[in-house]
Structure 1
């Protein structure tokens, strides 16, 4: 019997948690080059293919998110249920992380005296702006001033984009677009084209609109794969062919489109593929979001503590610390928050606990 993507939308048993963790660790690896060598540093994969390991992680996270969030909307009892579930997944872990970094790490590593650090308006703008995702601040007063890369919260940029795409899903769903896949595809395609050509236009909300372009394509590809899950074949041959085409086109004008398509299809294919003992990872937890939100400040902290080092050394020291924080975040913050929502009977069981899509577009904000 020909395999399709329907089982991925119907079963709890899949490889999504493991794939997302690998993607989150890939972001950490990708960031090690600019964090240790400075903003102009280019990681080896990007020099070879034109796409950094972090950029491929963007495609991975957003393709998975497009698939799962579309399913989440269809399974929700209503708009409020859907929005509460999304907020419960993003904000509890984020707010704790921002508090630890801004109010804990910040005063320790700032060149300012502690009273001056807490008196600085930039400190509180960063705390409230980052924890709400309404206005991001990537730096903290005096923090990491003596390191090659002074940014403290360089990974946060994807989270407001993710939230905007949640709203887009809700709007498309409320308009009944999920029942009109052809019209939906045309609408999303036209929307992405408009966004891609809006670079020179300045108007209120222009930046928020343009931010949807790069992650938007893999997100909507994931959505399309969900809607076509019963008809779209899940094939290793198709996955290999798409990857081959993307490699051949990587440095050309179709590089982004072919790579986004290849990664989106291949990742969701691997997510549903039977993997034997690897499926046991689902019993451990989903540590991808915590890994993502803690990695950047931890990597900067490592440089601040031990001074100059190679990217490999930074990865070796930062990864265990980051994973430890991610484990605590999942078991003490993220999972309890989602369970609290479900206990109140406002959210149906999910096909898989959707992680916040996180990733990396460039070496910094």
Structure 2
């Protein structure tokens, strides 16, 4: 993601950042292309995608970096949504954005796996844990392979939630974006497994760059912020270059660290361009639709696309089978967005926010020493409902 999957781009007073919607869809399309024609999977029969799509694979083998792009965009967008908000609003916003489509994706994926035995077979208890979005923490298989990124996103949300409680300011964001990746790397170097899990050092620089780019968009850049971007960019290049050999094995073809490094630089430039740079004037409405489909497409494309490929690769021309797999995934994504997200998001957000506000008001009611506590239903500041 999705970035981690992330929906609900906040808006400037003068309008929505539609360019970011477009970048999110590009990131999702890259991940989908990587999974269908880049990574060596068994659903194309005995021929690897690198051999079945030799020309296309030259490009799509790099599509996995869409995940890192999601994390970078998430750093921008989540800081945007958290800035100036209370923790109740932040939690309600994130919960209502992530879970409705995710729950629906888990349900229909499990239904698919009931009769498609080449997919991921989950035990009932594993299905229930998947509903919590915390299966990675329990070392339980994800219903969809892409779900692992949501665990990374949740950790970022936790850190931002703590940040909201402390109070978000420009100076604190700059300090956080510089200190977090350093502490994460120190935790990795000293083998502090708990801190490594929490601070996600491999991906922290991507989130940090997104946060700093938001500051540039919001208040303008200065030398400190741009140096922070440059420093985190160096760390991103380091991490992605080290990952190249592993991806080469997954693809079954060489993946160039230099090409990956260039892509990371382009990612930074793209986010700056559509937010504070020359492409900020982009206001094409269809990009909002594309952005809205990004999260559900990311959630659903894996198992359903693989199912289509598994069934059709010996029946249709490979490119036709590929097109059908993408269209099926895109259609399911549209169904999730319009049938689930649009129906439940605002209602769920209001419900969660009201519940959290009620808990907060209740916590503020403290009985005087020596006197019995007032009855909860008539306590000052607490609704009797």
Answer whether contact 2:92 2:352 (CA < 8 A) is retained. Answer: no
Distance 1:41 1:222 in 2: 33
Partner of 1:85: 93
Report Cα offsets for 1:91-150 as digits up to 9, x if no partner.
111111101111x101111279xxxx9xx9x421331222212114447xxxxxxxxxxx
Partner of 2:175: 183
Answer whether contact 1:192 1:217 (CA < 8 A) is retained. Answer: no
Answer whether contact 2:19 2:282 (CA < 8 A) is retained. Answer: no
Partner of 2:332: 325
Q: Structure 1 residue 299 and structure 2 residue 336: aligned?
A: no
Report Cα offsets for 1:327-356 as digits up to 9, x if no partner.
111111112222214556949xxxxxxxxx
Residues 177, 106 of structure 1: alpha-carbon distance in 2 compared, 3 angstrom cutoff: same
Aligned residues: 305
Distance 2:60 2:327 in 1: 29
Answer whether contact 1:63 1:219 (CA < 8 A) is retained. Answer: yes
Report Cα offsets for 1:256-310 as digits up to 9, x if no partner.
7775454133234235625657334326760001111110011221133224588
Q: Which runs of 5+ in 1 are unaligned?
A: 1-6, 140-151, 234-240, 348-365
Partner of 2:344: 337
SS state at 1:213 partner:
coil
Report Cα offsets for 1:204-227 as digits up to 9, x if no partner.
x366347x2333221111111112
Residues 130, 313 of structure 1: alpha-carbon distance in 2 compared, 3 angstrom cutoff: farther
Q: Structure 1 residue 315 and structure 2 residue 325: aligned?
A: no
Q: Structure 1 residue 213 and structure 2 residue 223: aligned?
A: no
Distance 2:241 2:287 in 1: 38
The structure, 1 or 2, with the larger RCO (C-alpha pairs under 8 Å, 6+ apart) is 1
Residues 300, 341 of structure 1: alpha-carbon distance in 2 compared, 3 angstrom cutoff: same
1:69, distance to aligned residue in structure 2 (A): 0.6
Q: Which runs of 5+ in 2 are unaligned?
A: 1-9, 223-229, 243-256, 355-385
Larger Rg: 2
Distance 1:267 1:310 in 2: 37
Residues 184, 26 of structure 1: alpha-carbon distance in 2 compared, 3 angstrom cutoff: same
1:54, distance to aligned residue in structure 2 (A): 1.9
Answer whether contact 1:133 1:159 (CA < 8 A) is retained. Answer: yes
Distance 1:15 1:321 in 2: 25
Residues 268, 9 of structure 1: alpha-carbon distance in 2 compared, 3 angstrom cutoff: farther
The TM-score, its normalising length taken from structure 2, stands at 0.66
Q: Structure 1 residue 165 and structure 2 residue 162: aligned?
A: no
When the two chains are superposed, the root-mean-square deviation of aligned CA atoms in Å is: 4.1
1:89, distance to aligned residue in structure 2 (A): 0.8
